[in-house]
Structure 1
Amino acid sequence: MEFLIAFLLIMLFMFIGEWVSTVTKAYVPSVFITAVLFVIGFWTVLPKNVVANSSFGTSFVTICVPLLLVHLGTLMNLKELIAQWKAVCIALLGVVGTITLTLTLGTLIFNWHTVIAAVPPLTGGLVAALLMTNGLKAAGVTGLVALPVAMFVMHSVIGYPLTAFMLKKEGNRLLTEFHAGNIKVQGNSSLIGEAEQLTKEKTVLKLPQPYQTSAFILFRVALIALISNAFAGLLNNVINANVICLIFGVIAHQLGFLETNALNKAGVFKWLMYGLLAYIFSQLSITTPQILGNVIVQIFVLIILGVLGMFIASWILSKPFGMSPEMGFACSLTALFGFPADYILTTEVCRSVASSKEDEAILLENILPKMLVGGFATVSVASVIIASIFLKLI
């Protein structure tokens, strides 16, 4: 019964977040509410192992992340993916803006070690936070060991509503352009009608429909995920395995090996997303009110400086890269959380802004690829490199 109660509590937090997002029309994102509920729970009565007990542990996540990324590749085409180099550039330059402002103004306010410990997790995810924590321990700077993890907990909570606000502004702008006839639906979205999808895409392996079972879909998605990870290994992980999974998912879809929206057709997409989110939120258990209270001033000031640096860089560079300032800033803000929050935020906002399926399709086609690729560039790749460099500066 303990495991069932754990699962029940996690789903409770998930649906409360979704309901709040629906009521507020995505101005308050579901991931923000769910994260707050997990923090409150861990600080009060929620067991630290609640997520592992609900079956969403490390083994689950190791499997589901590659599957989800291959699946997301089936929602794009190769031309669309290649076209996102601008999103990669502006996201990375936004991170440069964060580093510049925190290392200049930040070091005028706090000591060098404080800034060095906080910046990598500010520009990335949990991996960067753990790298910096271990580095501080090794260097004997024990007074700041809690800072990287506390920064990881706090910056995403601030990033969620800010990103949702930017995406809503971008969504409204795009719909105005679309209704004026300046933008056309390209037909790459997962929201195209089922019948239209079946006529547009290649018949998967030319097998009759009764043989296209959920297990067969999952087998093919897992096969592409396995090939992607093996290929990344051959490259000595010079290109992150997550990026390879996305690219190979796009290619497999283009070749007709995977159908559009594969995991949704297999009936497991939401289950995998909830599990991945629960695992990410389980990392919030490693901090306490006492730890946060000791570093809250440093965290708050450095987040303000970091986000301001992102804002300045992306706002200045958006026009040269052919993006609106709102879209450019949103791409940079993916550094604060990455996947899967970038996917969830984008789809929630597109659903709330749109008044029809066609509106939703045009928004997803124009926003989702930029957000996904921006998140991979910052959190999956840049943050680890930044953390490795900053470790040498402690």
Structure 2
Amino acid sequence: MWDISTGFAVIAIIMLVGEIISSKTGGKLPQMFIVATLFLFGYWTFLPKDILTISGLSVVAEICKIFILIHVGSMFNVKSLIKDWRVVVTTLCAIVGILALVLTIGTVIFGKDMAIIAAAPLTGGGMAAMIMNEGAIAIGKSALGVVAFVIFIMQGFVGFPVTAFFLRKEGERLVEEIRNNPNLIKESSTKSEGEQATSKKKIYEYVPTKICTPTYYLTVMGVLGCLGLIIFKLLNGAIDRSIVMIIVGVAASQFGLIPPNPMNKSDSAGILNLALFASFMSGFADTTPASIGQMVIVVFGLLIIATVGILLFSIPVGKKFGYSTWMASAIGLNCFLGFPYNYNLTNEAVDVVAKTEEEKTYLTEQMLPKMIIGSVVAVTLVSCIVAGVLVKML
């Protein structure tokens, strides 16, 4: 019964169901939570344990990991991060808070290995979870690696409601401010956004349009991937492969060799993301209901510790930069969200609080850029680097 087409079709259906339910609930039930639940049910009933190998997606996922890390590096915009350095510092302090508390209190309560495996995904997204999972498998502790994915999947259940609360409070504060001083809206709209920098033409812009096909972008990422692996081998593994790939992506983007988001331009993001997300689920193949039950208790304990760390470290720093307690907290909590969830939650808060179009515009301008930058720093970049460092400590 099980062959490559059946395996692929079943996995694609599971991913689609997760996407639809997540969309219908406005992200309150994250796609990865639905997908993980369906995979767990499947593994415990009818799915073969090696369905990812049968479907051929495990091989695609290997290529995908390299491409996504280069893609992540390409999104690193040095100029915009320098401009929004206060947001960057606040986010980095939130990450320091997570690491400080999880690696101390978490170690005392749950043990050293559990604290280390949890710390990286708590600072950001799925790639950090994948790096830690691979590290755990490499040392024969695959059960520990599953914890990284459970954390990644469960983050939203703490992050969504808590961040929504802080964003709503910040919206209420800003609305009260502009109703007491209507000139703030005028000042904001009069602000000259017209500093359009005449930036030099990038190298990739000289490539003729007819050559810039999906095959071209796949080729460029493939060559950069090879370059990254050569550098990794020359370094004798002194720096984790994921960090090397991100650095290659950052360098290629800064020197103008590739545009931001090259994977999207390759028309392959859909299949590559499907393969990557599905590969997260391989760690669940050997779990039991009892082991998952124990894991969920540990994960919620670690999430609470990490949340306290975020608030303790981001609030005082954010307040020094002139942010309110609410805004500093929301920026720090980007570690549990990332795009597009932070985008949706910010818009939701604005819609609930603002009464006029002018108020909506003002609130969006004040809140949304900070949230997006925070997620770029935490989820997109720093979490992968943290994972690359911590995986060596397992």
Same structural fold, with TM-score higher than 0.5 when normalized by the shorter chain: yes
Once the two structures are superposed, residues 337-379 of structure 1 have per-residue CA deviations (whole angstroms, 9 ceiling, x without a partner) of xxxxx456557767878999x9999988644453344246765
SS at match of 1:123: helix
1:156 is aligned to 2:152: yes
1:28 — aligned with what?
29
Shift in Å, 1:279: 0.5
Shift in Å, 1:277: 0.6
**For the Cα contact (< 8 Å) 1:118–1:299, is it kept in 2?**
no
Give 1:119's aligned amino acid.
A
**For the Cα contact (< 8 Å) 1:13–1:37, is it kept in 2?**
yes
Once the two structures are superposed, residues 305-335 of structure 1 have per-residue CA deviations (whole angstroms, 9 ceiling, x without a partner) of 454444444445443477633344324447x
1:325 — aligned with what?
328
**For the Cα contact (< 8 Å) 2:214–2:265, is it kept in 1?**
yes
**For the Cα contact (< 8 Å) 1:6–1:54, is it kept in 2?**
yes
The CA distance in 2 between the partners of 1:51 and 1:361, in whole Å, is 43
For structure 2, the residue ranges without an aligned partner over 5 or more in a row are 121-128, 176-183, 352-356
Shift in Å, 1:23: 1.5
Segment of structure 1 superposing worse, 358-367 or 32-41: 358-367
2:119 — aligned with what?
123
SS at match of 2:111: helix
1:204 — aligned with what?
204
SS at match of 2:57: coil
**For the Cα contact (< 8 Å) 1:29–1:160, is it kept in 2?**
yes
Pair 1:153–1:232, CA change in 2 (3 A)? closer
**For the Cα contact (< 8 Å) 1:166–1:326, is it kept in 2?**
no
| Structure 1 vs Structure 2 CA RMSD | 4.4
1:257 — aligned with what?
257
1:39 — aligned with what?
40
**For the Cα contact (< 8 Å) 1:26–1:349, is it kept in 2?**
no
Shift in Å, 1:94: 1.7
Shift in Å, 1:24: 1.7
Shift in Å, 1:302: 4.8
Could you state the TM-score of these two structures normalised by the residue count of structure 2? 0.71
Give 2:26's aligned amino acid.
K
For structure 1, the residue ranges without an aligned partner over 5 or more in a row are 107-113, 138-144, 188-198, 335-341
Alignment of 1:219-368 (within 5 A): 219-293=219-293, 298=298, 300-320=300-320, 324-333=327-336, 342=338, 345=341, 366-368=370-372
Once the two structures are superposed, residues 46-86 of structure 1 have per-residue CA deviations (whole angstroms, 9 ceiling, x without a partner) of 221112222211x3223212212322344442223565465
Shift in Å, 1:278: 0.6
The CA distance in 1 between the partners of 2:64 and 2:213, in whole Å, is 19
Percent identity reads 20
Pair 1:54–1:346, CA change in 2 (3 A)? farther
1:91 — aligned with what?
95
Pair 1:350–1:8, CA change in 2 (3 A)? farther
Give 2:6's aligned amino acid.
I
**For the Cα contact (< 8 Å) 2:69–2:249, is it kept in 1?**
yes
